[in-house]
Amino acid sequence: MIRRLLRKMGLLQGEAAKPKPSALGSAGGPPPARPAPHPHASRPAPERGARHDEPRPRGDAGRDRRREPHPADAARRGRAHAPREAAAAAPAAPSTPWDPATFRVPPADGKTRFHDLDLPAPILRAIHELGFQYATPIQAGVLPPALAGRDVAGQAQTGTGKTVAFLITIFNHCLRRPIEGRRTGAPRALILAPTRELVMQIERDALELGRHTGLRSMAVYGGSELEKQRRRLAETNPDVICATPGRLLDFHARHDLHLNRVEILVIDEADRMLDMGFIPDVRRIVYGTPPKDRRQTMFFSATLNPTILRLAASWTRDPVKIEIAPERLAAESVDQRLYVVTSREKFALLYNLLQREKLDRVLLFANRRDAVDRLARELRRVGVACEAISGALAQKQRTRTLDAFREGRLRVLVATDVMGRGLHVEGISHVVNYNVPIDPEDYVHRIGRTGRAGASGISITFACEEEAFYIPPIEELLGHSIPCVHPPEDMLRLPPDAHANPIAEPPQDERPPMHADRGRRRGGPGGGRRGPPRRR
């Protein structure tokens, strides 16, 4: 029996194992057809007679054998990600010749035409296709020195056109100074921004403005799969990276990104980064780039307070300072209104405004995440279609919600101040501040979501008894008062068919009450008597 088993295994010397039938079968013809195994099937068990001590393949070959993708799955993944990855990965295909003479803009007093800036034809063509004619004030101030290679420190909020200003500067630099054989993972330009939404918006603007340049742009941000972004980074080798600080440092620590070849560094929304605690990370990134005398730095902030100016002085070299007067911080095309109500009347007023005024596309701000979620629930309960978005929402859900709002499939979007900067959605008719923002600058950024690109917009703010004292600092920053409106009495009551009983929100400084036995520290002032010592 032992000899028979050894003979089958082919281990007995001098005796060969029984030959297996050939692939063509015996003399009777081909063997019966066997179904082909699915590529995703588990590893088959070894046949009888096979050596169990055969080494498994290691390294890339083993991984490729175990994880070979099914063709149908690869096709589905390609269709799912083709639009975004193709746009971010491949440079623009050679396009038909374009004559700059077809882009005609008449001169105008006090305005700067893009024709006057001596831009390369690919950039000028994209500007023409995007419908731009004259530079905005921040663009007219930034572009001449920036195109000449000077460092810039500019005061500008989102919506003033500063993104176009630094993107034109980057593309102009790369086109006029081409590089052959660039190292993988070494971008020529780096743009830092505080939020994912702002980074994604900058990437969209870069893809539109650089469509004819052949330059690659890519966004790097947290909240999404790191490995997926890592693969795209290796495949595309982008010329321009726009990133949030945390995720950029992740890639830099893994040596997927090399910052020592950066030629242009853009720091956007520096004051917001200071508020969010990103300055230590930004400092590490800046020190990873070439010294400031070997790179061009563009520094933008909504305010140029002493702290921001110190940062600008340490990271730039003799910058040209571009400031916008405070009275122009808020767009002139925004009609600002202030409704004086009690906290219990806010929801009824909001509901009646949405129903009676026929507000088209509304961005509704609250100060806290819990207030955003509660407000969205109450609106849905009275039949108002809306979605809530905040920093706690997963990135895929945030992107899906923003796309629905951007495409007009969602009428009301409830958000925290994470959306106040970097959100660029065409056609927002109304911005409603359900809570008065504590920081006056947040008010400016909130209402800047409407009245963009010359369109008109309306900003509505509800000021209750707990929040009214936040208004004077806002008016001081704006340089003018906000007109107060006392709504009619019938606007302060919910109609009978609303069937809602919204919960009145707590004051700004109020916190949920703690249990009496848990809310005190032992041994502190008012903390009660210390318990008996533990035995050791």
* 87 domain residue, yes or no: no
CB 287 within 8 A of CB 439: no
What is the rounded distance in angstroms from the CA atom of residue 68 to the CA atom of residue 71? 9
Reading the chain (536 residues) residue by residue, the pLDDT tens digits are: 556 655 655 544 444 444 444 433 434 444 444 444 444 444 444 444 444 444 444 444 444 434 444 444 444 344 333 334 434 444 544 557 888 888 889 988 889 999 889 999 999 999 999 999 999 989 999 999 999 999 999 987 666 789 999 999 999 999 999 998 888 999 999 999 998 888 999 999 999 999 999 999 999 998 778 899 999 999 999 999 999 999 999 999 999 999 999 999 999 989 888 888 899 999 999 999 999 999 999 999 877 788 888 999 999 999 999 986 544 555 567 889 999 999 999 999 999 999 888 788 899 999 988 899 999 999 999 989 899 987 777 778 888 888 888 888 899 999 887 665 656 777 888 999 999 998 888 888 888 788 765 567 899 999 998 898 999 999 988 888 898 988 999 999 888 777 544 444 443 443 343 333 333 333 333 444 444 444 44
Task: Show the tokens assigned to 17.
Answer: 């194992």
* 290 domain residue, yes or no: yes
Beta-bridge partners for 459: 336, 431
Do 317 and 339 fall into the same domain? no
Do 381 and 312 fall into the same domain? no
Do 150 and 285 fall into the same domain? yes
HEC sequence for 158-191? CCCCHHHHHHHHHHHHHHHCCCCCCCCCCCCEEE
Task: Show the tokens assigned to 426.
Answer: 């065409």
The full length of the chain comes to: 536
Helix (H, G, I), strand (E, B) or coil at 35: coil
Q: Given this model, what pLDDT does residue 413 score?
A: 93
Task: Show the tokens assigned to 448.
Answer: 């800047």
* 244 domain residue, yes or no: yes
* 125 domain residue, yes or no: yes
Of the candidates 193, 192, 242, the one whose C-alpha atom is nearest the C-alpha of residue 220 is 242
CB 436 within 8 A of CB 470: yes
Overall domain count for the chain = 2
HEC sequence for 222-251? CCCCHHHHHHHHHHHCCCEEEECHHHHHHH
Q: Given this model, what pLDDT does residue 330 score?
A: 58
CB 338 within 8 A of CB 485: yes
Last residue of a domain, one of 298, 324, 350: 324
Do 361 and 378 fall into the same domain? yes
What is the rounded distance in angstroms from the CA atom of residue 115 to the CA atom of residue 134? 9
φ and ψ at 299, to 5 degrees?
-125, 120
What is the rounded distance in angstroms from the CA atom of residue 177 to the CA atom of residue 370? 51
Do 244 and 122 fall into the same domain? yes
**DSSP H stretches of helix in 213-368:** 226-236, 245-253, 270-275, 279-288, 306-315, 346-356
Do 167 and 278 fall into the same domain? yes
* 20 domain residue, yes or no: no
Provide the greatest CA pair distance for the chain.
107
Do 483 and 348 fall into the same domain? yes
Unique residue bearing structure tokens 């008010």:
443
Last residue of a domain, one of 308, 324, 340: 324
CA–CA distance from 285 to each of 155, 170, 265 (Å)?
Answer: 22, 19, 10
Q: Given this model, what pLDDT does residue 453 score?
A: 56
DSSP symbol at 134? B
> Cβ of 81: how many Cβ atoms within 10 Å?
13
Do 209 and 124 fall into the same domain? yes
* 106 domain residue, yes or no: no
Q: Given this model, what pLDDT does residue 375 score?
A: 93
Q: Given this model, what pLDDT does residue 524 score?
A: 39
* 40 domain residue, yes or no: no
Q: What's the domain range around 462?
A: 328-498
CB 387 within 8 A of CB 404: yes
What is the rounded distance in angstroms from the CA atom of residue 477 to the CA atom of residue 443? 10
What is the rounded distance in angstroms from the CA atom of residue 509 to the CA atom of residue 525? 22
E strands, 305-442, in order = 320-322, 334-340, 362-365, 386-389, 412-415, 430-433
**What's this model's pTM, rounded to 2 decimal places?**
0.64
CA angle 322–328–331, rounded 5-degree value = 120
Task: Show the tokens assigned to 170.
Answer: 């980057």
CB 198 within 8 A of CB 421: yes
Last residue of a domain, one of 258, 289, 324: 324
Do 458 and 349 fall into the same domain? yes
Of the candidates 384, 456, 435, the one whose C-alpha atom is nearest the C-alpha of residue 413 is 384
Q: What is the CATH number of the domain that holds 315?
A: 3.40.50.300
Q: Which residues, other chains included, contact 333 with Cβ-Cβ below 8 Å and sequence gap of 6+?
A: 451, 454, 455, 456, 457
φ and ψ at 376, to 5 degrees?
-65, -40
- State the DSSP H helix or E strand holding residue 372, giving kind and residue range, or none if neither: helix 369-381
Helices and strands counted in the chain (H then E): 17, 14
CA–CA distance from 274 to each of 267, 268, 279 (Å)?
Answer: 12, 11, 6
Do 387 and 302 fall into the same domain? no
Task: Show the tokens assigned to 380.
Answer: 């849905």
Do 171 and 296 fall into the same domain? yes
CB 167 within 8 A of CB 127: no
Q: Given this model, what pLDDT does residue 19 score?
A: 45
Helix (H, G, I), strand (E, B) or coil at 388: strand
The CA-based dihedral angle spanning residues 468, 470, 473, 476, taken in that order and rounded to the nearest 10 degrees: -40
Q: Given this model, what pLDDT does residue 246 score?
A: 93
Beta-bridge partners for 484: 338
What is the rounded distance in angstroms from the CA atom of residue 195 to the CA atom of residue 221? 8
Q: Given this model, what pLDDT does residue 463 score?
A: 93
Q: Given this model, what pLDDT does residue 210 score?
A: 95
Of the candidates 467, 477, 411, the one whose C-alpha atom is nearest the C-alpha of residue 435 is 467
* 503 domain residue, yes or no: no
Residue type, 359: L
Do 461 and 335 fall into the same domain? yes
